Structures are given as C-alpha cells and as structure tokens.
Amino acid sequence: MARAKRILVQRHGPVVRVTHWINVLAVSLLLMSGLQIFNAHPALYWGHSSTFAEPWLAIRMVETADGPRGITTIGDRFADTTGVLGWTGFEGDRRNQAFPGWATIPSWRDLASGRRWHFFFAWLFVINGAVYLATTLISGHLRRNLLPSREQLRLRHVLQEIGAHARLRFPKGEAARTYNVLQKGSYLAVAFVLLPLMVLTGLCMSPGFNATVPWLIDLFGGRQGARSVHFLTAGAVVLFVVVHIVMVVASGAWNNIRSMVTGRYAIDEEIRP
C-alpha cells in the first residue's frame, strides 16, 4: 500500500513574494483612498461630461419621512442600502456619503488628502508592477508557471476544475506543485487586463496626462467613461481578492501563507513500498 510523506517544495521565488506583499499594501490603500475620492461625487456617467440628472450609478443619502436613507441606484433600479452605502447613521453626518468612514482613507471627509494617498500608492503600484512584469518575462516565470498548458485548456479539464473548486476539492500531491488552470487564468486576467485598465483609466483622469495623450480618453468614450471603467475594474479586483482569500483559507491558509512568505509549500508525496 502506498504511503504519503509530507515534503516542502519551492513554489514562489523572492521577487514574486516581495512584489505580492507590496501589491497587497498598495492595492488596499488605493481602494480605500479611491473610495474617499468617489465620496466627493458618488455618481458615475458615460461619455465626456457628467449628465447629473442621468447617472448610470449613484449612491446617495435621501431624506424621507422616516429620516435619512441610503439609496443605491443602477440605471432605473434602486435599492435601500441604509447602514451600508449612502447613509450609515453612525457619524451624525447628514451629508451625502456613499461609503462609510471606516472604508476610506482618511476616515473623515478630506478629498485633498485622499488624492495624495491615491497618487502616492498609484506610483508605488505601477513601479512594483513593472518590476514584477520584467522579472516574470526575464526569468521565464510567465512561460513556466502562468501560461496554461494545452491539456489544461481543454474544455473538459476546465469544467472538471470548476466542479472540483465548487466542491472545495483542491489538487493534492504532485498536482499541487503548480497552479491549476483556474489560478493561471485568474492571475493572468488580473495582471494583464484588470490592473493595466486601472492604470490607464486612472491616467485618463489626470489633466496633465490628458494634454499629452488626448486620444487615450477617446478609447474609453470620454473622461466620465474612463472614470466608470476605473470604478468597475476596481470592483472586479475587490471581487478577485475576496474569492482569492476564500480559496486560500479553504485550501489551507497556513500552507498558502507560508508559501508566499518563505516560498516553501507543503505537499503529500506518495511513497510506494
């Protein structure tokens, strides 16, 4: 009968680990300072200018006979989000505030400080991303570890992985040495689609950059279109982070965290007598 022996394998190199944790810091503070900026005008539009009467998304405080309520509107639909969005009732602030203070940096209403936090960590994020991308290409990490193999791209294999993850069944033994197709696909989508879109649409909101590269705004349908895409990509990144954390915990929190701190990941290797 085969026996299993737990061994530690090297899964993440030092550059991957360092840039990962810098990204955790930078993206967290970018999101929180971004919510502070969004609170200054909690509505989104398409096109070049703000059509104040027709936002496609708005998070506002509305005065009613029963007191202030938080109302979130998407197109023609709306929902009462009192206590979460639009109005928390915690601070006694009857002004329109989409996101509560605990979710923003700074926690009080201060657009100028929020913009300074946002711009500083945006540059840290860009530089960190450039280092990761350059190292990934030069070292071959992208080709070896992130690009799915032909076998992994087969529809049957992809569906099997989706089913296994839905049942919280994760790879064991040799299969755990490398990323599965869902991990590879999600990491590639975030690193090479979502995050670049965040950077480009963020640049679209810089008047100085607009003057230098005016055609970039047109790619997103206007300045307000770029702002909307920026918000949507940030929301997609938050969704990715939530799913990522759930998967990390479900597949073995300590093992995954250790691999991203020390690079060593524990697998059960089968030993035959």
The Cα 127–Cα 185 span in angstroms is 23
User: How large a percentage of the chain has pLDDT more than 70?
Assistant: 93
259 or 8: whose pLDDT is higher?
259
* pLDDT tens digits for range 60-88: 988 888 888 899 999 999 999 988 898 77
- What the block records as the tokens of 92 is 């006694």
Run of H or E including 69? strand 67-74
Selected residue with higher pLDDT from 269 and 104 = 104
The mean of the pLDDT values for the chain is 88
**Domains identified in the chain and CATH numbers:** 3-42+103-271 (1.20.950.20), 43-98 (no CATH)
Q: State the average pLDDT over residues 159-184.
A: 87
In the chain, alpha helices (H): 14-40, 111-139, 141, 155-166, 181-189, 195-204, 207-212, 215-219, 223-250, 253-261
Helix (H, G, I), strand (E, B) or coil at 271: strand
Sign of the dihedral defined by the CA atoms of residues 251, 252, 256, 259, in that order: negative
| Residue range 23-65, pLDDT digits in tens | 999 999 999 999 999 999 999 999 988 888 889 999 998 888 8
Cα(39)–Cα(33) distance, rounded to whole angstroms? Answer: 10
What is the average per-residue pLDDT within 190-216?
A: 89
Angle (deg, nearest 10), helices 111-139 and 195-204: 140
Output the pLDDT for position 206.
Answer: 85
Taken in order 158, 162, 164, 168, is the CA torsion positive or negative?
positive
- Around 23, how many Cα atoms within 13 Å sit in the side-chain half-sphere? 20
Query: Does 145 have pLDDT greater than 70?
Result: yes
Is 0.85 topped by the overall pTM?
Answer: yes
Which tokens go with 9?
A: 């394998």
- The model's confidence at residue 3, banded by pLDDT at 50, 70 and 90, is low
Q: Which residues contact 82 (CB under 8 A, 6 or more apart)?
A: 68, 69, 70, 88, 89
CB 150: neighbour CB atoms within 10 A?
7
Stronger pLDDT, 260 or 269, i.e. the higher one: 260
